[in-house]
Amino acid sequence: MSARRTLGLWASTLLLTSSAAGLGTLPAHAAALPAHAGPLDAVAQAAPAPPGRVHRGTPKVLGYEHLVVIYQENHSFDNLYGRWGKVGKNRVEGLSKADPAHTVQVRQDGTPYACLPQNDVNLTSPPLPGTCTDPRLPAPSAFTNRPFSIDDLIRPTDTTCPEPGVSSGKGTLKGTGRPGGCTRDLVHRFYQEKYQIHGGRQDRYVTGSDAVGLAMGYYDTKQLPIYTYLHSPGAPHYVVADHFFQGANGGSFLNHQWLVAGRAPVADPLGHLPQGLTEPKATVVDANGMPSTYDQYTPTRPDVVNGQLTVACPDPATVADEAHACGRFAVNTVQPANAPFEEGDPGIPPIDDRTYPNIGDRMSAEGVSWAWYAGGWDDAEAGHPGELFQYHHQPFNYFADYAKGEPGRAHLQDERDFLNAAAIGNLPTVSFVKPYGSENEHPGYASASTGSDHLVDLLKAVQSGPEADDTLVIVTYDEFGGQWDHVPPPGAGSPTKGAYDAFGPGTRIPTLVLSSRMRRSGVDHSVYDTTSIIRTLERSLDLAPVGIRDTRVADLRAAVRRGRG
């Protein structure tokens, strides 16, 4: 054991006392920090150390005593990492590899667009010049039918972010919002993504979107704070996993469930929802599998329903059919029955951990220390959530064993507790870190640059702590955020070979694996999806599987080996 680690554990033992709450909380003066305070500000003001528990040793995860999973929001690989380029001796499969067959976007009738339609107020013509004309579009466009750089038009310093808690709608015109370079939000729902992927053709992201041409935008990877940090002196070596796909088609709610449970929850039985929540609706799709009308899409039947549940099964007596993804599976955003939740929204009853366990249940049963750290959690738990606290980003809160008063609740912690644990050398074996809304990179209410800044702060907190050499970090994203990517996910007939089922996987997402112990940086072309994370935990910690795909996907050993040289 290194001298630095020994010192860290000695300090932890001296400063910490036993507590059933697990990791404890910050003192009152630190908890009162304003929402905009950076994470390192919280650590700096967090003396003396909080009460908590010194975590006992457990089996290692891929050779590390600690695994940290940082779960960012809503970007496809090409959108964010498409211009990463070369890493060590390897080259990332990014935008330079995008062939026209998986790039050129087509209309509902299958013919290609001459120009990309736009409806973000900063991308329409005007204010941009209408240099491209298409007789089938209602207005000229500044965009031909190909990917384009968002940074050239909406810079990180532009005042295009809405006020906290205000919907971005079709964007915030420059000069009328807050700085940050935000775009409008893009639809990212289960059936829409299945339509957009188009059996691996990747050519209907524009037609199947409420944001139309914005789906083809990308950021200058090398200008992102995360890229700058990883190429600065003293930064850890890293591996880009460039064939990592989101676990399920659709949005944040579902993919958070796939991160922790490897499945979609079944919303049954209903009728026991707390006051303030409504019942979710079943989806009704047209002949193309679409449930909604958009600027460039007209359903083939008039009675489509853009619901929260999967389509009804042919046999009405079937509650849920996993093989065909039909019945009462919750696939689009619903609220948890456990507080806190967003009142007035559709919700589902608590998930029975006995029938549908999650990876937290498995770890707790084996005595493995772990926590889910969420930005703004303490405020939400106290009844005064921040304007951008996202209830559906808290997957364990959907399970019965994590309701208030249940033992599992102790594992739900605030992000500031993570920063303190990293600083004093008291990380649990497994940490899931979920940033607060304004810092998670989600288009519409956050920006890529601001979220990337916060990501760097989180990595620096780990790297500056006494357990850095014993910690492996996975940075990944919950889902694609409605944005195009050229690499087809695994599926029937796909050139990408990997495990799949009726739920996914979906679009490729950015993923990094890094540690100060790694000897080199590189690229891992292995095929993974979100369930590869729980597969890694199951194999490393000798845990029983929890989902429907986690026994068939690759774990992340190859990525770690790539970094070891």
Above 80 in pLDDT, residue 113?
A: yes
| pLDDT digit string, tens, across residues 381-407 | 999 999 999 999 999 999 999 999 999
- The amino acid occupying position 541 is L
Mean pLDDT of 67-91: 96
- Per mean pLDDT, which of 20-24, 56-60, 520-524 is the most reliable? 520-524
Q: CA 527, 529, 532, 534: dihedral to nearest 10 degrees?
A: 180
What CA–CA distance (Å, rounded) separates 88 from 79? 22
Place 509 in a pLDDT band, splitting at 50, 70 and 90: very high
- Closest by alpha carbon to 132, among 142, 124, 117? 142
Above 70 in pLDDT, residue 135?
A: yes
Q: CA 186, 187, 189, 193: dihedral to nearest 10 degrees?
A: -80
According to DSSP, residue 113 is labeled P
Containing 430, the helix (H) or strand (E) segment is: strand 430-434
Above 80 in pLDDT, residue 36?
A: no
Is the C-alpha dihedral spanning 530, 536, 538, 541 positive or negative?
Answer: negative
CB 409 within 8 A of CB 403: yes
Mean pLDDT of 259-281: 91
Mean pLDDT of 449-455: 95
What CA–CA distance (Å, rounded) separates 360 from 408? 8
Above 60 in pLDDT, residue 15?
A: no
Place 565 in a pLDDT band, splitting at 50, 70 and 90: low
- The amino acid occupying position 338 is N
Above 90 in pLDDT, residue 42?
A: no
| pLDDT digit string, tens, across residues 218-237 | 999 999 999 999 999 999 99
With H, G, I as helix, E, B as strand and everything else as coil, classify residue 240: strand
Above 50 in pLDDT, residue 44?
A: no
Is the C-alpha dihedral spanning 387, 393, 395, 398 positive or negative?
Answer: positive
Place 165 in a pLDDT band, splitting at 50, 70 and 90: confident
Above 50 in pLDDT, residue 35?
A: no
Place 41 in a pLDDT band, splitting at 50, 70 and 90: very low
According to DSSP, residue 27 is labeled -
What is the reported pLDDT for 57? 57
What CA–CA distance (Å, rounded) separates 11 from 538? 31
With H, G, I as helix, E, B as strand and everything else as coil, classify residue 565: coil
- Closest by alpha carbon to 49, among 350, 466, 453? 466
Q: Which is it for strands 244-245 and 528-529: parallel, antiparallel or unpaired? A: parallel
Per-chain mean pLDDT for the chain:
90
Burial class, 392, CB count within 10 angstroms (exposed 0-12 / middle 13-18 / buried 19+):
buried
CB 375 within 8 A of CB 434: yes
- Closest by alpha carbon to 273, among 344, 328, 326? 344
| pLDDT digit string, tens, across residues 301-344 | 999 999 999 999 999 899 999 999 999 999 999 999 999 999 99
Above 50 in pLDDT, residue 129?
A: yes
First to last CA, the chain: 22
Above 70 in pLDDT, residue 32?
A: no
Is the C-alpha dihedral spanning 48, 51, 57, 61 positive or negative?
Answer: negative
* Lowest mean pLDDT, pick from 45-59, 401-415, 440-454, 462-476: 45-59
Backbone angles phi, psi at 343, to 5 degrees: -65, 145
Is the C-alpha dihedral spanning 8, 11, 13, 16 positive or negative?
Answer: negative
* Lowest mean pLDDT, pick from 17-26, 174-183, 538-547: 17-26
With H, G, I as helix, E, B as strand and everything else as coil, classify residue 509: coil
Above 90 in pLDDT, residue 474?
A: yes
Containing 245, the helix (H) or strand (E) segment is: strand 244-245
* Lowest mean pLDDT, pick from 6-20, 178-192, 401-415: 6-20
Mean pLDDT of 52-74: 82
**Gyration radius (Cα) of the chain, Å:** 23
* Lowest mean pLDDT, pick from 51-65, 118-132, 237-251: 51-65
What is the reported pLDDT for 18? 32
Is the C-alpha dihedral spanning 464, 469, 472, 474 positive or negative?
Answer: positive
Above 60 in pLDDT, residue 549?
A: yes
Mean pLDDT of 283-307: 98
Above 70 in pLDDT, residue 38?
A: no
Burial class, 520, CB count within 10 angstroms (exposed 0-12 / middle 13-18 / buried 19+):
middle
| Per-residue three-class SS string for 332-352 | CCCEECCCCCCCCCEEECCEC
CB 348 within 8 A of CB 336: yes
Q: Among residues of the chain, what percentage have pLDDT more than 90?
A: 86
Above 50 in pLDDT, residue 22?
A: no
Place 56 in a pLDDT band, splitting at 50, 70 and 90: low
Backbone angles phi, psi at 419, to 5 degrees: -60, -40
Above 50 in pLDDT, residue 19?
A: no
According to DSSP, residue 392 is labeled G
- Closest by alpha carbon to 529, among 254, 224, 217? 254
